[in-house]
Amino acid sequence: MTTPPFNPSTHRDPASLVVGATAGQVVGGLVAQMSPFMIGGLMSGFSLSERDAGLVVSVELFTLAVTAVAIAPLLPRFSDRRVSLAAITLALLAQSASIFSASLPLLTLLRGLAGIGEGALYAVSLSVVASRCRNPDKVYGYFQVAWAVGSIALFPIGGYLTAAFAQRGIFALMAGVTLALAPLLLLIPDARANGGAGAARAPAPTAPTFVPGVMTLAAIGLYLIASSAIYAFSAPLGKRAGLDTSTVGYVLTVATLVGIAGAGAATAINVRWGRAIPISSFFAGFALVVLALCFSRDPAVYVVALIGSVVIYYFSMPYLFGLAAALDRSGRWAATAGSAWLTGFAAGPLFAGGIIAEAGYEGLAGACVAITASAWSLTAIVNRRVSGALDAALPADPRV
């Protein structure tokens, strides 16, 4: 009797591992999700300009990204649980101290320290899934479901606390979320799995992974530049369509709620038909919503396109991180993919501002579509290599 080929859609991963990894993912990425409120709170509490407030947030995002990429190659040597507990301790201490800091230089330093802890957690959350889970794409889909569901509560609470207490309110919320999720990190396995039984999955590709790994990181970074560029300027785009800021905020809340459908679809579809069709679909869909948002001034078109962009985002991320996880079982590339995500997210608003100043929103549309096409080309090449290596590793069907 021959062993049937591995089918990831038929395997389940331990619920405790999934919950622990999801907690690490949420804490690690919380600053990116709540960055609009952080900027607003800093502007109000310290009377900062948009540029100076954005700089403080950029310091945290930068240290987060650098830590994630620096620690990724080292993670297989250490216990995932111990790294996570040390990281969340640092993040929680820095976040708590930030609440009471009245000095902008000290606050900037504290946010940088918080970024170090958050970056380590973000890297561990991606790496432990890649190294231990049979079906990383599906677990990364759970991450997006958690983000979508959590954001529905975090956005209104964050808005209220920021309006009432400026930066102290949003920092208190982030510290509270970090503290609440800290015990769940104990569910992350203590010992690192290096391709043993606990990490039983599809056969790992045997081809060298450096070039496809770099291409995957570039694709994720490029896609996030375009995606965050549109997200950051969603309010001005709404104003062009005749909607005020409060209405745009309501649309974003609804979009996040509907975004659960995107994450759920990625989790349900998974890789049972491969990655090529889903990846091509969301890149094409994103290009269409960009054109609609930047060229149309119809409020109905704006609402549909903005909601569509959020759904596409939540659908896309599991496949991009899953592609990175497919490159090797150790989880190095998956962990580093988090840094590419963060770097692209941080660069998007700066990129968009420069393009809009020179060529308007129509120019932004053209630039985002070009970047999206480049990202799709890179992922298509990597996916073919990964699929080819996987097909070569699978046992031949004796019936052929």
Summarize pLDDT for 131-169 with one digit per residue, the tens. Answer: 888 888 788 888 878 887 888 888 788 878 888 898 999
How far is it, in rounded angstroms, from Cα 107 to Cα 105? 5
How far is it, in rounded angstroms, from Cα 271 to Cα 276? 9
Domain limits, CATH 1.20.1250.20, in the chain: 15-136+149-187, 202-393
* Amino acid 391: pLDDT: 46
Cβ atoms 35, 160 nearer than 8 A = no
pLDDT tens for each residue of 192-215: 544 433 444 444 444 457 888 899
* Amino acid 388: pLDDT: 64
Cβ atoms 252, 391 nearer than 8 A = no
- Cβ-Cβ contacts under 8 Å for 398 (sequence gap 6 or more): 2
Instruction: Give which of 31, 29, 374 is closest to 225, Cα–Cα.
Output: 374
Crossing angle of helices 332-393/299-325, nearest 10°? 70
| Amino acid identity at 175 | A
| Amino acid identity at 205 | P
pLDDT tens string, the chain, 400 residues long: the values are: 443 444 444 455 688 999 999 999 999 989 888 887 787 788 889 988 766 777 788 788 888 888 988 887 888 888 899 999 999 999 999 999 999 999 999 999 999 999 999 999 998 998 888 888 888 878 888 887 888 788 888 878 887 888 889 899 999 999 999 999 999 999 998 865 444 334 444 444 444 578 888 999 999 999 999 998 888 777 778 888 988 766 777 787 888 888 888 777 777 777 667 788 889 999 999 999 999 999 999 999 999 999 999 899 888 888 888 888 888 766 678 777 877 887 888 788 778 878 888 898 899 999 999 999 999 999 999 988 887 655 444 444 433 3
Instruction: Give which of 212, 224, 227 is closest to 378, Cα–Cα.
Output: 212
Residue 171 structure tokens: 């920092």
* Amino acid 41: pLDDT: 84
Cβ atoms 215, 378 nearer than 8 A = yes
Q: Just give the CATH number of 15-136+149-187.
A: 1.20.1250.20
pTM (two decimals): 0.71
Look up the CATH superfamily of 202-393.
MFS general substrate transporter like domains (1.20.1250.20)
Buried/exposed 126-151: b ≥16 CB within 10 Å, e otherwise: bbbbbbbbbbbbbbbbbbbbbbbebb
* Amino acid 74: pLDDT: 85
- Cβ-Cβ contacts under 8 Å for 50 (sequence gap 6 or more): 39, 43
Q: Which helix (H) or strand (E) holds 359?
A: helix 332-393
* Amino acid 244: pLDDT: 76
* Amino acid 208: pLDDT: 58
* Amino acid 2: pLDDT: 41
Distance of CA 156 to the CA centre of its chain: 21
How far is it, in rounded angstroms, from Cα 139 to Cα 123? 15
